Structure 1
Amino acid sequence: MPFDNLNNNHYTQAEKTAVVEAISTLETVLAGRFKNLSPEERKRYGSINEQNKLIVNKVLDYRKNQSNLSSPDVDWEEFQNDYDSRSFLQETIAKLQNLISGLDNNKILHDFDNYQASLTDYGYSQYKAGTKIAGFETKVTEISQFFSRTATANNTTAQNLKTEE
């Protein structure tokens, strides 16, 4: 017997509404802070790598512990604000990525359950089509278009290989 119903944990309407409202709230709160960067700007400014983050952290450490060694040409209040914002955003991104990962895993299980149930229904429809009960032949024909034929797939693969050579 195949595994089915891998995820029987379904969302209530209240939970769905709460999630949609929470996301809307996030979008509203954050929208004014977003900056659109062109691909060139993203490449130009990029993200500092781990080595450069160590430099920033060391400069901040010196600023906090030996401020007399800090350059007077740096706006240290802005430096601290940038650092705090960056830390907040990094923590927020990590939390959102964890949520996305959990949601994606949950969706995969629901997709699998739907697909397995659909295959079961298709098999039942094939059986019923064999009994000539009205409607099942049409249903089987319409669903069968979504299954690839092995010979066709092999021919397409062979043609693709010839094209690539």
Structure 2
Amino acid sequence: MPFENLNNNHYSTEEKASVFETISALEETLSAKFKNLSAEERKKYGSINEQNKLIVNKAHDYRTSQPSLSSNDVDWDEFQNDYDSRMFINAAISRLQNLIDGLNNNKILHDYDNYQAALTDYGYSQYKAGTKAAGFETKINEMAQFFNRTGTTPTTTDVPPAT
């Protein structure tokens, strides 16, 4: 018997509402600062690579520890604001990515549970169609379209239609 109900921790209506309220609050708070970049602008400005981040960090370190060595041609207040924003955004992205990863893992388990239950239901429907019970033949025909019929070896999750 396959594993079933790999994740039976479900979200209450209140939890769902709270999550979406929190996401809405995040969107409202952050959206004023968002800039839409075209594909061309994304390519032009790109993301500084790890080596260049080291240069930025070293310039920041020198500005902090030995400001007399810093160029007067740089707006250091703006540099610090950009640096602080970059660090904040990076931390926020990391935390949000952890949430996204957790949600994706959770969704995978719920998807698997749904799929296994659907296969069980399909098998039951095949059995009932074999007994000539009303309505099951139509159900089998409608569900059979989703199963691979190319003659390839089925995977462990593919169930062939009734013959």
TM-score of the pair, normalised by structure 1 = 0.90
| 1:65 to partner: Cα distance | 1.1
| 1:70 to partner: Cα distance | 0.5
| 1:51 correspondence with 2:41 | no
The structure where helix makes up a greater share of residues is 1
Map of 1:149 onto structure 2: 149
SS of corresponding position for 1:150? coil
Map of 1:123 onto structure 2: 123
Map of 1:42 onto structure 2: 42
Question: Which residues in structure 2 correspond to 1:44-123 (within 5 Å)?
Answer: 44-123=44-123
For 1:146 and 1:65, the matched residues in 2 are separated by 65
Aligned length: 153
Partner AA of 1:68 in structure 2: S
Map of 2:7 onto structure 1: 7
| 1:150 to partner: Cα distance | 3.1
For 1:42 and 1:25, the matched residues in 2 are separated by 27
Tell me: higher relative CO, structure 1 or 2? Use CA pairs within 8 A at least 6 residues apart: 1
Taking only the aligned residue pairs, the percentage that are identical comes to 71
Partner AA of 2:50 in structure 1: E
Where in structure 1 do 4 or more consecutive aligned residues deviate above 4 Å? none
Q: Flag structure 1 segments of 5+ consecutive residues without an equivalent.
A: 155-165
Partner AA of 1:124 in structure 2: Y
Q: Flag structure 2 segments of 5+ consecutive residues without an equivalent.
A: 154-163
Map of 2:135 onto structure 1: 135
Partner AA of 1:127 in structure 2: Y
Map of 1:18 onto structure 2: 18
Map of 1:31 onto structure 2: 31
Map of 2:157 onto structure 1: none
Superposed CA offset, 1:94-123 (max 9, x none): 001000000000000000000000000000
